[in-house]
Structure 1
Amino acid sequence: MKHLFLSLLLYCVVSSALAQADNLSIAAKAYLLSDFQTGQTLASQNAHEQIEPASLTKLMTAYVVFSALKQHRLELNQAVPVSQTAWKMIGSRMFIEPNKQVTVDELIRGMIVQSGNDACIALAEAVAGSEANFAGIMNKEAARLSMKNTHFTNSTGLPDPNHYTTAYDLSLLATAIIRDFPEFYPLYSQKEYTYNNITQPNRNRLLWIDPHVDGMKTGWTKNAGFCLITSAMRDKRRLISVVIGAKSANARSAESQRLLNYGFQSYDTLQLYKKNDSLTTIHLWKGAQNELKAGFDRDVYFTLPKGQSDRLKATMEYKQPLIAPVQRGQEVGTVKFTLDDKLIETYPLVALEEVGVANIFGRTWDSVKLLLN
């Protein structure tokens, strides 16, 4: 118990203590910086205000397509017909044609690297039959990912009054792509792609500037301004930045770089405990054994602001009396984290083993002791 308390006291932090960065100023309508491993927000402004996502929408289009591939409803080498709607799509394009075969793999690269609206339409029709049906799937996925202030009407990000999201929701989406589809995420670091003898560069300029950046997506409309979601990894630590409404393509890159540098320089992310590590033992009544091993049912990571660890405390609370039988994974207590005596996070403490009941004599003896207590 003492070891757990001291370790957490030195290294823990939680997101509610990190959301404001007093000395950070980012030239954008909204922004958010988060730690991929912990999900904690390190800096933000207007993160929950409704914004027009522009081509950042294509992250959700990709998420739905990746899901279809994982479920074998699509195949990478599958040829996709190009409809007149896809061919004539306005905005950025990869230049597919109705009389020229194109595969799912080519369309994905055209969507991610070239930001092709025509590719999005072709993929949406391949998955759901129509873009309208596809948008319905996008919204279901958004709800499942807890993107509570998001609604999609199309796969491309073209302006629509009912097509909106927030910087916070976009950070959830970017995190989900990296977490759920690591096999496809490297596509976001591809610097250029050639289709139909036309080579187009990835619009994410940080791929050329910062060797730690390996994604993710740019966007622009008149109302949205210049937008960029960026992911970078340094020393096995990944941060995700969302910048909405910068004044130029150069500005969105520069402000995203500033956000990332701030996060890497000001915070550390540490793994305190691994899933199923035994943290403590709890007295067990009427069991085949009188002590129960307990710990976390997940890896426990925390993002630590440099120089603030002495303000954090953690304490355990057990469910007592704890009476057998106990199932593995059953919640048997909590670990509470406080900052300046304010509760800011609670994690469940779970049984790491299954323990059955004692024999009649053991149960009777424990019943007597419980009565006396």
Structure 2
Amino acid sequence: MQLKNYSFLPLAIAIATGALVPGAASFAAAHAAKPAAQKKSAAVEPAPAPLAGQTAVAGGPPALAAKAWLLMDFDSGEVLASANPDEPLPPASLTKMMTSFLVEQALRSGKLKKDDLVPVSQYAWCRGSGTESCMYLPLNSQATVIDILRGIIVQSGNDASKAIAEHMAGSEEGFAKLMNAEAQRLGMTHTHFVNATGLPDPDHKSSARDLAILARAIIRDSSDYYPIYAEREFKYNNIKQGNRNALLYTDPTVDGLKTGHTQEAGYCLVTSSKRNGMRLITVMLNTNSAQARADQTRTLLGWGYANFEKANPIEPTAVVATPKVTFGKADTVAAGLGAPWTVTVPRGQKVSTSVQVQPGLEAPVAKGAVIGKIVAESNGKPVGEAPLVAQADVERAGFMLRLWQRVTGLFGK
């Protein structure tokens, strides 16, 4: 069925109120929301009890009305605060972060091209029932990969997700195997995907920590495509839909990532924000409304930026160690950082460092070679590490000098 000349009211209003504003065309009103469970948003579910979490900050983090939540520092991947971070829960459309990530990586590697055409099968097609979020790809049509990617990220299209799954792996089941392999590679140890959309399945689970790991990978490894996650709307098939992430409309520091909702999962949100050079990632799982997931995320971001700061454990030009080098024309080599290094720590806490040099360091040693690591600690807890790098070349000694070094070494001289 070809649908034309319909448009959606700004979804920011829909997000704030939990329902679309009356007066839109009946078809648009039926399809601007997520699956059928979302259509009943007037009957708001009871809010989960406020859930306190763990953190290194004195006084603890705020208690948030969600089943699980997490705050992560993007640069280091350190979890700054969390509650139930490893409990496997239904992720709803947060699943599509993995779907979009696989598309982005295929584009980066050349396996896909932006203008490749993706067919829309009977299986992928949304039938216009209003029971799921759709990009509204016409049946038996074709769409470019880049349009499909926007349809997944901005419009949360189940049809777009299924179509690209079939295109890349032959079937959604085959694509789920790719998703799980990538999850394993990233270290998502409490995740198992069954489909590309997040539609309910008893075996389809992920955790707050795992979803933060995935969000970090998207920001880090998909920089060419990450700006799509901040786009507020996308028009396809003459139908314009808005991004359901309410914070994109209210917080200029937020630039992603994804919302999700089913009856089983509740209202979920993964967000990234960058302020004053520090990027934080939040995960909010199983809140009771679209408004609640936005409000709880705002609270967590505000608390995070108020209680953590960036610190430079060591100046980039500082020599932090002069480890011994055997069989070299020089006995030692100056070592320090290879690049500027920052860590995220609770405000006001001092940072200490320790150096670990790889054992048995032998010449030749090239300037810039990694010869160990520097570990930063705050309040007795590791908060980051950086490579220890040789600051100069150490050439290998000639035969006679090496022989002399061996002999003196035997006698402890």
TM-score range, shorter-chain basis?
0.7 to 0.9
Q: Any conservation in 2 of the 1:20–1:43 contact (CA below 8 Å)?
A: no
Long gaps (5+) in structure 2 = 1-53
Contact persistence 2:71–2:82 (CA under 8 A): yes
Partner of 1:147: 188
**Letter matched to residue 35 of structure 1:** D
Would you say the 8 A contact 1:20–1:44 is kept in 2?
A: no
What does residue 197 of structure 2 align with? 156
* Deviation for aligned residue 1:109: 1.2
> By percentage of residues, which structure has more strand?
1
Deviation at 1:282, TM superposition (A): 2.4
Distance 1:166 1:275 in 2: 37
Identity %: 42
State yes or no: 1:39 paired with 2:71: no
CA distance in 2, matches of 1:66, 1:322: 41
Distance in 1 between residues matched to 2:378 and 2:228, nearest whole Å: 40
The structure 2 residue matched to 1:363, chosen from 402, 405, 408, is 402
- Amino acid in structure 2 at the alignment position of 1:78: D
Partner residue in 1 for 2:93: 55
Give the partner amino acid of 1:247.
N
Mark the CA change 1:156 to 1:318 in structure 2 (over 3 Å): closer, same or farther.
closer
Is contact 2:349–2:378 with CA below 8 Å preserved after alignment?
no
1:133 pairs with 2:174: yes
Query: How many matched pairs?
Result: 356
Change (3 A) 1:330 1:231: same
Is the 2:192–2:204 contact (alpha carbons within 8 Å) kept by the matching residues of 1?
yes
Q: Distance in 1 between matches of 2:270 and 2:95?
A: 11
Instruction: Return the letter of the residue paired with 1:212.
Output: T
What secondary structure does 2:107 align onto? Answer: helix
The one-letter code matched in structure 1 to 2:354 is: T
Change (3 A) 1:341 1:118: closer
Distance 1:43 1:17 in 2: 5
Identify the residue that residue 206 of structure 2 maps to in structure 1.
165
Matched, 1:68 2:88: no
Structure 1 unaligned segments of length 5 or more: list them: 1-15
2:341 is the alignment partner of 1:269: no
Contact 2:61–2:81 at 8 Å: present in 1 too?
no
Structure 1 residues 335 and 76, CA gap change in structure 2 (3 angstroms): closer
1:325-340 to 2 correspondences below 5 Å: 325-326=364-365, 332-339=371-378
Which one is further off, 67-76 or 362-371? 362-371
TM (norm. structure 1) is: 0.86
Equivalent residue number for residue 388 of structure 2: 349
SS at match of 1:85: coil
1:190 to 231, 255, 258: 231
CA distance in 2: counterparts of 1:224 and 1:366, whole angstroms: 67
Aligned residues of 2:95 and 2:198 also touching (Cα < 8 A): yes
Q: 1:243 aligns with which of 284, 289, 292?
A: 284
Match of 1:109 in 2: 150
AA partner of residue 254 (structure 2): V
Relative to structure 2, which stretch is displaced further, 62-71 or 272-281? Answer: 272-281
Residues 1:341 and 1:303: Cα distance change in structure 2 (over 3 Å): closer
SS of alignment partner, residue 60 of structure 2: coil
State the Cα distance separating 1:78 from its structure 2 match.
1.9
Deviations 1:186-219 (A, max 9, x none): 1011111111221111100111111111111000
Q: Give the alignment's Cα RMSD to 1 decimal.
A: 2.7
Counterpart in the other structure of 2:412? 372
